[in-house]
Amino acid sequence: MLYKRSSALFKMAEQVIPGGVNSPVRAFGAVGGTPVFAKSAKGAYITDEDGNRLIDYISSWGPMILGHAYQPVVNAVIEKAQLGTSFGMPTELETKIAELAVSMVPNIDKIRFVNSGTEACMSAVRLARGFTKKDKIIKFAGCYHGHSDSFLIQAGSGAVTFGTPNSPGVTQGTAKDTLLARYNDIENVKAIIEANKSDIACIIIEPVAGNMGCIPPKEGFLEALRGLCDTNQILLVFDEVMTGFRLAKGGVQELFNIKADIVCFGKVIGGGLPVGAFAARNEIMDYLAPIGPVYQAGTLSGNPLAMAAGYAMLNALNNDETIFKSLNDKTAYLHEGLEKVLNSSGIDYTINRVGSMISVHFSEVSVVDFETAAKGNNDQFKQFFHGMLNEGIYLPPSAFESWFLNDALSYEDIDSTISAAERVLKTIQ
């Protein structure tokens, strides 16, 4: 496929936007080549600026769970826009979507809307610190919770070592309060807690990881975290920005029957518009301003267009009992097909899947955490990505990102994807 116009647009963008993109993964830095510029999308397909139609497996990084330009969402946004795009005042719709979200998700009483997943996770940690009156947090290597300073931390040399910043602009003072643990390693978490007794406000985790490829929690891992938090008066924060309203109506809490203390949302909850949210039981949420001492605010939080899109999306998911089974079945079908062609290729691989999240790792070892994810053959992934792109299949341009299926994908689309993978794998060295 030709990407002349995308290449020209990227060169223009580089002159006025850092790196030519407004989010780094879009720059194709992990796979090389020139980013594809989207022009339009409908259902399971994206049409780029060169007129190529691509089968989409990122779904705008998750929110397009029912496909692009889903008509009830489009209609809701248009109708709301005609009444005004922003007021800086409360609207009835904010209460309606809050009531709907609370009814769908177990173990939450109140929810506050913000403008991004980063804001949601940042606010959740501040709330946890204010509620517990403790300063330190535990996060997991490879889990991404947005670009707030507290989360841009790399590993120290051991369980008792403070993290260090992995981005300029993040201070050592901020880093010292973030402790880094290994995903799926409960003994490591125990050691960190033991070394920081009475200092840890919360443990924040992607309960199904999606930023080192899709990595499910080991059996019993989340339950053990819940137990450690209960024993040590630590709040358990689930970052369900990716998984919320995608893996089940009630997200991972429902799927695995695990209760978190605070839950963060994004992606699906906005129906494709910029939205985040965080939620908890009453006693925690009532610590927020204006009724509590923990300050959090946002001029455009609860924006009527975003609320309209999110409300239409959640209503669709809440009213159709077949959607999640359909998504799971399609993802399982893709998994089985890819497994078959990969087995025939002789290339080392492992596939991880939970619900409608899936990833292919070109690795001979099981991928259970960031360390094992990093052992994958990135050169093979690059070849696979560009080969699939040339076949008209748009995958995440990084080996460290989950694929997200949408329900507009047909089995014919998936068969085409599997056939394309078979052809591409024959070319990989």
**Tokens matching residue 330:** 């399609």
Rounded to an integer, what distance in angstroms lies between the CA atom of residue 10 and that of residue 19? 9
Partners of residue 114 on adjacent β-strands: 276
Rounded to an integer, what distance in angstroms lies between the CA atom of residue 159 and that of residue 380? 33
**Tokens matching residue 168:** 């300029």
String of b and e for 40-59 (b: at least 16 CB within 10 Å)?
ebebbbbebbbebebbbbbb
311 a catalytic residue: no
**Tokens matching residue 236:** 């358990």
Residues contacting residue 263 through CB under 8 Å, at least 6 positions apart: 105, 107, 108, 237, 238, 240, 244, 251, 253, 278, 279, 280
Q: Provide the pairing of β-strand 276-280 with 110-114.
A: antiparallel
Query: Whats the size of the chain, residue-wise?
Result: 429
* Active-site choice (80, 136, 249, 267): 267
267 a catalytic residue: yes
Which string of DSSP letters, residue by residue, matches 241-288?
TTTBTTTBTTHHHHHHT---SEEEE-GGGGTTSS-EEEEE-HHHHTTB
* Active-site choice (144, 183, 349, 394): 144
Residue 185 near residue 143, CB atoms below 8 Å:
no
Residues designated as active site: 144, 239, 267
